[in-house]
Amino acid sequence: MEKVILNVKSRQETGTSASKKLRMRGIAPAVIYAKNEKPVQVSVDQREFIKFLHKHGETAIISLQTEGDSKDETVIIKEIQYDTVKSRVMHIDFQRIKLDEKIRVHIPLVTKGDADAPGVKEGGNLEHILREVEIESLPGNIPKEIAVDVSNMKIGDVIHVKELPVSVGVEILNDPDQAAVLIKFEAEEKAEEKIEEGAAEPEIIKKGKTEGGEEAAK
């Protein structure tokens, strides 16, 4: 995987108040973490970062270039905190990496051929049990996503983690026998929902008087 460039700026002020001021100016606070090293405080333009994500995704290997510093750093995005109400990035954690050392990351799991699946055409529902999987790999082997072909799936078919396609050098760390994708009858799904709803309803015993005049138990 080729490294892509992202420009950031160093920042001295930290804390809630300083971060709030940055966000009001359209800037997201960020931190660069590394094992046994002091975190480095930086910031990145909100719009530029969103454009970066749309183009390269969250699993890209990044050449992080800090303004005023000739030395770049090789990092990956470890975590992004979003404000779901205002649809903006609140904070970013970068992790410094070495290209010759394996790392663990979470990769999106996507499906292809959904509309062609016989089970879907027969009225079944395609369920994504897993939206992402955890992998271990050298940074250069990290895929942008793992795509699984569901075009031949019928109702009742299940694709497990151990059946997911991965390239050489990439290991999936999830339970191999865990279901990743399946197709289920819609009627069956509704029946299960009714059973769950019924089980969730508490038993109610009305309080009142018995024929003998005694008060009934609660």
- Tens-place pLDDT, residues 7-55: 999 998 888 899 999 999 999 999 999 988 899 999 999 999 999 999 9
**pLDDT of 86:** 64
Q: For the chain, which residues make up each domain, given as ranges?
A: 4-96, 103-199
Overall average pLDDT of the 172-195 stretch: 79
Overall average pLDDT of the 178-196 stretch: 72
- Written as six digits, the tokens of 209 are 């008087």
Output the CA angle 105-126-146, nearest 5 degrees: 25
Overall average pLDDT of the 63-80 stretch: 90
The residue behind tokens 């191999």 is: 176
Overall average pLDDT of the 169-179 stretch: 96
The residue behind tokens 């509309």 is: 115
**pLDDT of 153:** 96
pLDDT top residue among 187 and 78 = 78
**pLDDT of 200:** 55
- Written as six digits, the tokens of 81 are 């905190």
State the pTM of this model.
0.72
Determine the CATH number of domain 103-199.
Answer: 2.170.120.20
Output the CA angle 6-170-54, nearest 5 degrees: 30
Whole-Å CA distances, 158 to 7, 104, 126, 132, 164: 43, 26, 10, 16, 11
Contacts of 195 (CB under 8 A, 6+ apart): none
CATH class of 4-96: mainly beta
